[in-house]
Amino acid sequence: MKKLFSILLCVAMLLGVISLVACGESKKPTYEIAVVTDVGQLMDKGFNQGTYEGAKAYAEANNISYKYYQPANGSDASDNDRIAAMKQAVNNGAKIIVAPGFLQATAMKTVAKENPTVKFVFIDGWALGLDNVTAVTYKEQESGYLAGYAAVMDGFTKLGFTGGGGGGNPACNRFGYGFVQGAEAAAVAKNVNVEVKYSYKFGDSFSASTELQTQIAGWYAGGTEVVFSCGGSMFDSVKSAAAEYPNSKIIGVDVDQSSESTQVITSAVKGLSVSVERVLGQFYAGKWDAELANKAQNLGAAEDSTGLPLDTWSFKNFTKEQYNDLFAKIKDGTIVPKAETPEQANNADWLKANLTKVTIIFE
């Protein structure tokens, strides 16, 4: 009898252990909000960082769990790497996945089709024909215009633009096109001639490189006064090049990059954090079907999603009053920077068309 009791006790204890293990497995951490990064690093001082900071801010303000996922292979990430990252987010309980960058399209469409109850936010993307996907785009040409105008009005006449994506990234293209248009408008207003060196040569992967640093250092050595760095971690190469020439200046992109270098005079920003918080707010307010499903929001000055950061710029001649007047004209549609995005900027005749005071030198 004692032996039977001992056996039953052991069985009960074993079942208890199994039950505890099973219970532990069922309570594994889940993360409702997921951010799947684009190429480059999470804290890239640009696009990934701005997107993540918006998700983080909303999640923490509303006590919602969140996690970021970086696809394998860094700047060489493939569609399969992005698919794997998104699937990992789904497996970890994601209710909504935010993914920046146009390269996310194939992966997002694949994973969204397989998981119709999970919602996807395509930052810098487009509607994918799926009700569980929404897109957010920006009028980067407005921020680029403001940066180019401000630089010339402040007294700079030798400018440079280095862009990511090899000329095939619509957002970087819009920044660059706007930059040239703004420089032209200011040059006409001041009756001065302006030179803009314009290149996508070393920006394919949006990464820092010795080649890019050498190119930009050559620009500064040749008299270029300020370079608009438009491409994530490419900023590090431009910063290193500028450090060799103490009087040279940098214009940052996407987020306020003034804290990265005293040589940053301003940044052409877009409301990444604000717009991500906006979409997450719409989702959690139950407005997905009515306002977001299979739609794209194109945000600009009218939504306070483009512009220059007033509190940190270091212009000496261009005033905040002048900026506010220009911004108001863009906001109300009096000034409308063009947004054409041909595949290669140096093949775009329109980029040179009607330029009376700006000379573009493609490299």
pLDDT tens track for 179-205:
999 999 999 999 999 999 999 999 988
When the pLDDT of each residue in the chain is averaged and rounded to a whole number, the result is 90
Residue 359 confidence (pLDDT) above 50: yes
Residue 148 confidence (pLDDT) above 70: yes
Report the first-to-last Cα separation within the chain, whole angstroms: 92
Structure tokens at 246: 């103490």
Please provide residue 314's backbone torsions phi and psi, each rounded to the nearest 5 degrees: -130, 35
- pLDDT over 90, % of the chain: 74
pLDDT at 340: 72
Q: Where is average pLDDT lowest: 185-194, 227-236, 300-309, 332-341?
A: 332-341
∠ at Cα 295 (291, 300), nearest 5°?
Answer: 90
pLDDT at 20: 42
Distance (Å, rounded) from C-alpha 238 to C-alpha 242? 6
Nearest to residue 266, comparing CAs of 170, 158, 143? 143
The answer to whether the beta carbons of residues 306 and 271 sit under 8 Å apart is yes
Residue 1 confidence (pLDDT) above 70: no
Residue 347's pLDDT band (boundaries 50, 70, 90)? low
Mean pLDDT within 22-38: 78
Residue 157 confidence (pLDDT) above 90: yes
Distance (Å, rounded) from C-alpha 82 to C-alpha 39? 10
pLDDT at 330: 98
Mean pLDDT within 39-50: 77
pLDDT at 75: 80
- pLDDT over 70, % of the chain: 89
Residue 284 confidence (pLDDT) above 80: yes
Residue 325's pLDDT band (boundaries 50, 70, 90)? very high
The answer to whether the beta carbons of residues 283 and 96 sit under 8 Å apart is yes
pLDDT at 45: 64
Mean pLDDT within 238-261: 95
Residue 348's pLDDT band (boundaries 50, 70, 90)? low
Residue 342 confidence (pLDDT) above 80: no
Residue 2 confidence (pLDDT) above 80: no
The answer to whether the beta carbons of residues 208 and 233 sit under 8 Å apart is yes
pLDDT at 154: 98
